[in-house]
Chain A
Amino acid sequence: MIEFFDYENLRIIWWILLGILLIGFAIMDGFDLGTAILLPFIAKTDIERRILLNSVGPVWDGNQVWFILGGGAIFAAWPLVYAVSFSGFYFAMFLILIALILRPVGFDYRSKVNNKNWRNFWDYSLFISGLVPSLVFGVAIGNIFHGVKFDFNEMMMIKNEIRFFELFTPLSLICGLLSITLLTTQGACFLAIKTDKIIYQRIKKVLKFLPILNIIFYAIGGLILAKISGYIISSPIIGSGESNPLAKKVIIENGAWLKNYQNYKWMIIAPILGFAGQFLTIIFSFYKQDLKAFIANSLSIFGIISSVGLSVFPFILPSSLNPNASLTVWDASSSYQTLVVMLIATIIFLPIVLAYTSFVFAVLRGKVTEKNIEQDSNFLY
């Protein structure tokens, strides 16, 4: 049992946990971001907007922790990935930060002043706070496939030549669009559960075409991926070696990102889940099985994010400036000790988090209606 947790396996476990945290973020905070994107289009009057806001109102704060925790886990378990990606995507991160700062204050401040301009201002701030992070996350993921321009000197100081406008390529834009439509679908699926009457009908219309867009963008992304070049480690792999990314050799090869699916056939489950989840979302939504539609889209998110991770495995962040300096599962993790401590903490606390999150959702179940808002106007968002 203890032998199972050697350095190599711990790295794989932490790679999977990183994926779980990102998927958790996309599923949970995804519906908040999606709701914020839908806010100006689905809800026209003030009371309609307040229904939308209060559907996610009591839970968005907790959901956002998935993102904070994702950041913290990358910092602790993959410090090099954290250092290179956050400083490399500087402007992109700055945009995400600004957007995420606008969100808590948008929620909290919007309904506290009864003035049309004031409320409109915060509504559009919330819209931006949903749209910008969704777009930027997608674009960032698209850039993982291309590799980004970074290198290290002999003291492991990062040399970073990433330029903001070079981050936008056909593939990364498709990823960005997919991210927006996918999270908007997630928001719509959640709102279908939480709302009724006119808003519910509008949501249903949106849910007729959003999954189709998801399927199209995901398929295009896959086709581009087959055409571009990927990275392959050409030197022998030492899974339990020290985390020194400069110790290996990496070559670039066309279509390399799809090789994992040829070598390990079971991995094909991920993209299948990505597509199938979308078809199921359409079907369940049509038959008003709203909870099932939400679960179907969540499964699709699970499949799509997993397929990204599996395609580039064992790479986490390839370098196009010096491919040998790419960050991989085998040489970018923290020390054995740290991975053990973090794993113990996760095993203890993650189930507790999931338990009380479920409790909170159970308490807050049921639809948010106009009557709710009017009754408790001074205390709701």
Chain B
Amino acid sequence: MNLDIIEASRLQFAITAFYHFLFVPLTLGLSIMLGIMESVYVMTNRQIWRDITKFWGKLFAINFAMGVATGITMEFQFGTNWAYYSHFVGDIFGVPLAIEGLMAFFLESTFVGLFLFGWNKLSKIKHLMVTWLMAIGTNLSALWILIANGWMQNPIGAKFNAETMRMELDSFQKIFFNDVAQAKFVHTISAGYVTGAMFVLSISCYYLLKKSNLEIAKRSLIIASAFGLLSASSVIVLGDESGYSTAHSQKMKLSAMEGMWETHKAPAPFTLFAIPDEKNQINNYEIQIPYALGLIATRSINKEIPGIKDLVKISENRIINGLNQYKILKNLRENKSTNPVEDKKYLTENFQDIGYALLLKKYRPDIENASSQEITKASLDTIPNVTPLFWSFRLMVGLGMYFIVLFALCFYFFNIKRNFEFKILLKIALYSLPLPWLACELGWFVAEHGRQPWVIEGILPTFLAVSSISKSQIFTSLFGFIILYSVLLIVDIFLMTKYIKMGPDKILNKN
């Protein structure tokens, strides 16, 4: 085991995923908003709505290119850097990924060209259909990716095959209707819609403050405020759904997010503020709201939420149990089993704890000889980093609440009162532009970092999933990506700013 290669591979995946996720939420939200704007054009037949769609479409294209460019890396990285992962779960994980390409990515990529270049080649209705197909493709793409990701969090519908030494598909329905995946999908796309709404809102406020492009800015504001208010409310409601599904599938992640070291008598309180001390497994300076967490996470007043310390004890038992299963597997793989057919059958039904035994590989290759100290150490490894999770989660939720307030104010002043002169609100809305991106990245961080040390929850530890590659390989690609992506991000922001400053009137050759 080479820790440098593992850490560098993780860092590369994290960096490339975070970059990719700078562009995806905006694509998700803006594509739907383009559909709405163009629908208004087709229904009212007023030229200005066509201009609005074309202008935001122009900015959409700049962002879309980066989303595509950074997305290619994501798909191929599983193979290049996580080869054992690809072998171990490719039978299942590959399926939603391939269907995403077939059903969604083809749709959005084929129609984005026609959306941008088909204005004079298609009838109004046909072009509108193209825009919506592109938006649907984009959102379906998110569905399949989150089904794949949801399975990493809650690996149901799969069974272990000792002969092929991998997890294999058992029930496609279970994987598709995985409630973790479904909750994640709706939560993520509505976060994308908030991002799209904020993008349109902030830039329109910028024009109002500059007193330029007023006609397009005002109409855009009205769409953005309404769409943003709806989306921001659903993010919170659906995020709660996501928390509820986490409570039964990933107990450790939930307790780590909440900094809950001890099992509390039901219903557990929600900790508003605390400084977690991970070494002594205790929180300092706690401020708690009684009953709140128990109600949110279990939707009951009598179900207990297990604390981290109790979960570690469960992990320890699972490691010990997993070692027995592992010994049978090892015998079988080395052709030393006296009854291979029986052993294989036994493992298909009793593989659930092998992953826990594999955690010991961090300490010794011959894990069947692990000492009790090593088993205790491995069980402590099942605790993710509490402090960053605790705070990321709270910051994300706080931002979500802020978005509701902001969009509600905007809706009140712009849509109801038709007051576009309220300078302070315009400024606040303008400077809130980066916040949805921050919230999205935090959410992604909580989901993925909270799953550690697992890459597939309870099945495969992250450190075992890497490729057999050399240090020079991983560091070349890591620095290569950092440099290339940073340059591209600078160019992207430069072009965005250039076109935003130019404004719709100039781009569309008005005046």
Contact = CB atoms under 8 A, between A and B. Distances in A.
Contacts of A345: 98-99, 102-103
B101 A72 contact: yes
**From B61, B75, B488, B499, residue with most partner A Cβ within 10 Å:** B75
Nearest to A67: B72
Contacts of A289: none
Given A75-B86, A82-B79, A90 B488 contact: no
B84 A83 contact: yes
Interface in A47-76: 54, 57-62, 64-65, 68-69, 71-73, 75-76
B170 interface: yes
B116 interface: yes
Interface string B159-183: 0010111101110100000000000
Interface string A234-275: 000000001110000000000000000000000000000000
A72 to B, nearest CB: 4
B76 A86 contact: yes
A157 interface: yes
A93 interface: yes
B84 A94 contact: no
Contact of B122 (A91, A338, A363): A363
Nearest to A150: B468
Interface stretch (A102-110, A185-193, A312-320): A102-110
Contact of B468 (A69, A158, A357): A158
Contacts of B165: 155-156, 244
B269 interface: no
B467 A58 contact: no
Contacts of B477: 90, 94
Contact of B86 (A83, A91, A376): A83
Nearest to B126: A363
Given A65-B101, A79-B94, A86 B79 contact: yes
A341 interface: yes
Given A75-B79, A334-B90, A69 B84 contact: no
Nearest to B495: A112
B92 A338 contact: yes
A100 B106 contact: no
A29 B467 CA distance: 29
Given A58-B113, A83-B86, A244-B164, A335 B91 contact: yes
Contacts of A86: 76, 78-80, 83, 86
Given A58-B117, A83-B84, A101 B164 contact: no
Contacts of A156: 84, 87-88, 164-166
Interface string B98-142: 111111011101111110111111100000000001000000000
Interface string A178-205: 0000000000000000000000000000
B334 interface: yes
Contacts of A75: 75, 78-79, 86, 90, 93-94, 97-98
B73 interface: yes
B90 A82 contact: yes
B503 to A, nearest CB: 12
A65 B110 contact: yes
Given A158-B87, A338-B95, A341-B169, A87 B81 contact: yes
Interface residues of B, number: 82
B467 A87 contact: yes
A71 B468 contact: no
A356 B473 contact: no
A83 B98 contact: no
A107 B172 contact: no
B50 interface: no
B333 interface: yes
Contacts of A72: 75, 94, 97-98, 100-102
Contact of B469 (A87, A335, A379): A87
Nearest to A80: B87
A155 B94 contact: no
B62 A61 contact: no
**From B64, B113, B170, residue with most partner A Cβ within 10 Å:** B113
Interface residue SS majority, chain A: helix
Contacts of A346: 102
Interface string B48-62: 000000100010011
A76 B79 CA distance: 12
B106 A69 contact: yes
A79 B90 contact: yes
B66 interface: yes
A335 B468 contact: no
Nearest to A69: B101
A342 interface: yes
B68 interface: yes
Interface string B471-497: 001001100100010001001100100
Nearest to B118: A363
A342 B95 contact: yes
Contacts of B166: 79, 156
Contacts of B476: 91, 94
A224 interface: no
Contacts of A242: 161, 163-164
Nearest to A156: B165
B509 interface: yes
B91 A338 contact: yes
B76 A160 contact: no
A73 B98 contact: yes
A59 B117 CA distance: 10
A226 interface: no
A350 B508 CA distance: 38
Nearest to B332: A154
A62 B113 contact: yes
B102 A350 contact: yes
Interface string A323-363: 00000000000110110011001100110010011001001
B507 interface: yes
A86 B118 CA distance: 37
A229 interface: no
A337 B106 contact: no
A337 B110 CA distance: 30
Contact of B69 (A85, A90, A101, A335): A101
B117 A364 contact: yes
Contacts of B99: 342, 345, 349
Nearest to B117: A58
Contacts of A105: 65-66, 69, 488, 491-492
A154 B329 CA distance: 10
A65 B109 contact: yes
A322 to B, nearest CB: 14
The 8 closest A-B pairs by CB, nearest first: A79-B90, A86-B79, A76-B94, A58-B113, A62-B110, A72-B98, A75-B94, A108-B65
9 contacts: A68-B75, A71-B75, A87-B81, A112-B499, A158-B467, A353-B106, A360-B114, A376-B120, A379-B119
Interface of A: 54, 57-62, 64-65, 68-69, 71-73, 75-77, 79-80, 82-87, 90-91, 93-94, 97-98, 100-105, 107-109, 112-113, 154-160, 242-244, 334-335, 337-338, 341-342, 345-346, 349-350, 353, 356-357, 360, 363-364, 376, 378-380
Interface of B: 54, 58, 61-62, 64-66, 68-70, 72-73, 75-76, 78-81, 83-84, 86-88, 90-95, 97-103, 105-107, 109-114, 116-122, 133, 161, 163-166, 168-170, 172, 330, 333-334, 467-469, 473, 476-477, 480, 484, 488, 491-492, 495, 498-499, 507-509
